[in-house]
Amino acid sequence: MAEALDLTEAVYKVTRENTFGRDFGLINQIQRASVSIASNISEGDERMTNKESIYFFNVAKGSAAEVITHLHIAYRIGYLNQDTFRELENKTDKIGATLNSLIRARQNHRNKN
């Protein structure tokens, strides 16, 4: 969860920089997707059943994929330099890997019951 909050903070900081200019559409999309990751991890963690938790973790994974897509767009049109792009992409990939592990663990636990 801390990693997801760190990513959201980094996304908000980078989208406030002048390079993003007035591209409010992309700013809104990437910010909302990053917030969605943290929100869905939190919600999934609080659910009472593994099935519900897995659902929200999968939604968070989808939001992580969305963030990566927005990062690629921002990089390709010159809003992000290569270092910032790679840093944010790596953070997002790490969150995705953690989510995969959480999902597998919940699936394995569910299958044992």
pLDDT in tens, 27-56: 999 999 999 999 999 999 998 899 999 999
Give the pair of three-digit tokens for residue 13.
């900081």
Q: pLDDT confidence of 112, banded at 50, 70, 90?
A: low
Print the domain residue range for 85.
2-112
pTM for this predicted structure = 0.92
Question: What is the tally of structural domains in the chain?
Answer: 1
Which one, of 28, 17, 23, 11, lies nearest residue 68 by Cα? Answer: 11
- As a whole number of angstroms, the distance between CA 108 and CA 81 comes to 41
CATH code of residue 15 = 1.20.1440.60
